[in-house]
A and B are shown apart, each in its own frame.
Chain A
């Protein structure tokens, strides 16, 4: 390895690396967020109690079957192949050329959605039955129970798994170079090809990928700890409620 080449590549092509890293982050952030939202929606639908009879029961079953096939299909095929099928497929079938970046985000989103759906479902099921019961007893329906009680807890439970998906997405966007998205791997390939310095260029990419995933992992760990809060409650003596406290109560959280 030649350190000289590494510094030379860095000083000459740092904007390309930076732009590539930016695109990689953009695709994986948006993909993870949209994928998580898809996962949340599907998780809520798939945990709905089945109505006793009638049209509602049948429609829920149909929807569940469709969602199950979506999950199975996207989890069961490689993202690199999905990318080719979707990108070239839409071009052939509808004669539309998807914007490459849009296509990339689209593919990562639905792929992540398929994984997150199962993760969310697991997260919802792992919330104590008593939480559902208390929410129902107070008069909440399924959606209200989910939004106000269960999902906040499920999301906390699945945060590590979601972080994991995010990290996987940062790494796996590299396969999207097959549809020529200018993410980090694609840029590195260009840099390497221009100079015939494959090792040095990819060594730089390697470091950048690691910095990105490591930072994300740290941030999420910090977030988890913050969400958990302290184990014990320190009594604030000033909190002994008097009517004037109601002013303060107006803006907690």
Chain B
């Protein structure tokens, strides 16, 4: 098994607020890892440290054997290799659906407009948004925006996809359409790191589940183990709380 991402002794604080403490974990190629945990436990910060939207305070992040915190390392090239899907979608408001999926390809990957549009169309079709290619973000529903956001990330042909609670800002009736797309992606063999509160999704799709609590990884294991037979008390408590909602 080849590790794509390895996180070693990662720590992060905002001022006096220690948010991540000595995080160690790795993601291998083709693996789907779900990160669960109560809000404020540091899940988003962990994802954001991995793609350097936040600068870690200590430890190492290793991508395909290279230390990306090394000063010499090109942050921008590295980020192109990681697709990120945000809770708040963050589609580029000045571009239509197609433009959202092509701007990075054309400006960063230097693909021709034609090629970029062909790639974009492939993914927009995959997420079922081919009828809305010329729609601006404000003309789309939350679920549609999130599907375009997924297509935008995929259009860069990333090695890894990071999802930060992609369905948490959606109306309940739209959660399904986004999870369906994510499930298809997982089945296609894409490497995915998903922060989610959708326990059903995690149980069904994840190869591994990581439970975070108060800035540390409290427990990790297979979905069966975490959901049916957690060894830690706090995991059990968290699951009881979230499943009773």
Query: How far apart are the CA atoms of A136 and B149 in the complex, in Å?
Result: 14
**Which B residue sits closest to A151, measured CB to CB?**
B94
Interface string of A115-145 (1 = CB under 8 A from B): 0000000000000101101111111110010
Contact A140 B86 (CB under 8 A): no
Contact A130 B114 (CB under 8 A): no
| Given A140-B104, A240-B130: A149 touches B94 (CB 8 Å cut-off) | yes
Query: How far apart are the CA atoms of A102 and B241 in the complex, in Å?
Result: 73
Q: Does A76 contact B (CB under 8 A)?
A: no
Query: How far apart are the CA atoms of A245 and B125 in the complex, in Å?
Result: 13
Contact A153 B93 (CB under 8 A): yes
Partner of A135, one of B92, B114, B133: B92
Contact A229 B136 (CB under 8 A): yes
| Given A149-B94, A235-B131, A241-B121: A139 touches B156 (CB 8 Å cut-off) | yes
Query: How far apart are the CA atoms of A246 and B124 in the complex, in Å?
Result: 13
Q: Does A94 contact B (CB under 8 A)?
A: no
Q: Does B180 contact A (CB under 8 A)?
A: no
Contact B107 A148 (CB under 8 A): yes
Contact B132 A233 (CB under 8 A): yes
Q: Which residues A133-167 have CB closer than 8 A to chain B?
A: 133-141, 144, 148-149, 152-153, 156
Inter-chain residue pair count (beta carbon < 8 A): 101
**Which A residue sits closest to B52, measured CB to CB?**
A136
User: B interface, by DSSP: helix, strand, loop or mixed?
Assistant: helix
Size band of the B side of the interface? 35 or more
Contact A130 B121 (CB under 8 A): no
| Residues from chain B with Cβ under 8 Å of A239 in the complex | 130-131, 133-134
Contact A233 B76 (CB under 8 A): no
Please report the total number of A residues contacting B with Cβ < 8 Å.
33
Partner of B53, one of A136, A230, A231: A136
| Residues from chain B with Cβ under 8 Å of A231 in the complex | 138-139
Query: How far apart are the CA atoms of A149 and B89 in the complex, in Å?
Result: 15
Interface string of B90-121 (1 = CB under 8 A from A): 11111000100001100110000110011001
Q: Which residues B62-98 have CB closer than 8 A to chain A?
A: 76-80, 82, 84, 86, 88-94, 98
Query: How far apart are the CA atoms of A236 and B135 in the complex, in Å?
Result: 11
Q: List 9 A-B contacts (CB under 8 A).
A: A130-B89, A134-B84, A134-B86, A137-B51, A137-B86, A140-B104, A153-B94, A233-B132, A241-B131
Which residues of chain A have a CB within 8 Å of any CB of chain B? 128, 130-131, 133-141, 144, 148-149, 152-153, 156, 229-233, 235-236, 239-241, 245-246, 249-250, 252
6 A-B pairs closest in CB distance: A139-B80, A134-B90, A130-B90, A233-B139, A137-B84, A152-B94
